[in-house]
Amino acid sequence: MKAFIKKHEYNHIQKHLNNLNNVYKSCVDTNIIEVTKAYTQEKILNIFTNLSDEEKKLLDISILKDSSQFDKYLNELNEYVYGMPNITKEQISKLFKKEKKLKLPNINTKDSKNVYLGWIDESILKLFIAYNMNGKLIGMTCRVPNYGSNGSHTCVLCNHTGVESDVAFVSTICKTNNMGEGSYRSMAFDLCLDSEKCNERIISIEKLEKILRDVNNINK
């Protein structure tokens, strides 16, 4: 069976199962456990459309009888998870061709299951993000502020809350339809600075794709 679970979908499943596992650990009422289990199963299946019988069988959580089985189940499920298509350094250079001295990331996307590729060039304090949307590689460049505040921020992509050195209020320049003066506008939002960790938490691509459409002036 081929991989059929996108990385953010796997993260979503993992979140539901972590909640169920907490019920297993803290509740002694078997009725509550079974109701929560049925609810969790429904939530997991509703993530997908047009599942085959084989895929539904793989997503069946009725086999989970106690807390000790969850890690094994998730590890086996991870074999059917896939991330974004492979990206070459040439593609990245072309995507960010306006950057004169682009510091390329150490990429090995062959076995990567990331939702998106992100990295920071500390020398110029910029966060770069590349993402495959509908078969086309798009990206954005975000300016990262100098870390000087202990205030907390919440990432718009994965909802993780952390201090400014962990989640920062970044800014980017957006394209517009105006070809004359003022043809660009700025946009700012909170993002995780560690993209690898963000990729392990993100459960929806809706916000990511909306931001990238706005930045690149792409209509649906």
Question: Is the pLDDT score of 101 beyond 90?
Answer: no
Tell me what pLDDT residue 95 has. Answer: 94
Q: What percent of the chain has pLDDT over 70?
A: 94
Tell me what pLDDT residue 60 has. Answer: 97
Pairing outcome for strands 81-82 and 5-6 = parallel
d(CA 9, CA 203): 6
Tell me what pLDDT residue 181 has. Answer: 55
**Among the residues of the chain, which ranges form H helices?**
7-26, 30-45, 53-58, 70-77, 89-95, 195-201, 206-215
* Residue 96 to residues 90, 121, 164, 172, Cα–Cα distance (Å): 10, 13, 26, 13
Considering the entire predicted model, what is its pTM?
0.91
The domains of the chain, with CATH numbers, are 5-82 (1.20.1280.250), 89-215 (no CATH)
E strands, 81-158, are 81-82, 117-121, 126-133, 136-143, 152-154
Average pLDDT over every residue of 107-120: 80
pLDDT tens for each residue of 147-188 = 666 789 999 999 999 988 899 999 998 877 765 555 678 899
Question: Is the pLDDT score of 112 beyond 90?
Answer: no
Tell me what pLDDT residue 99 has. Answer: 87
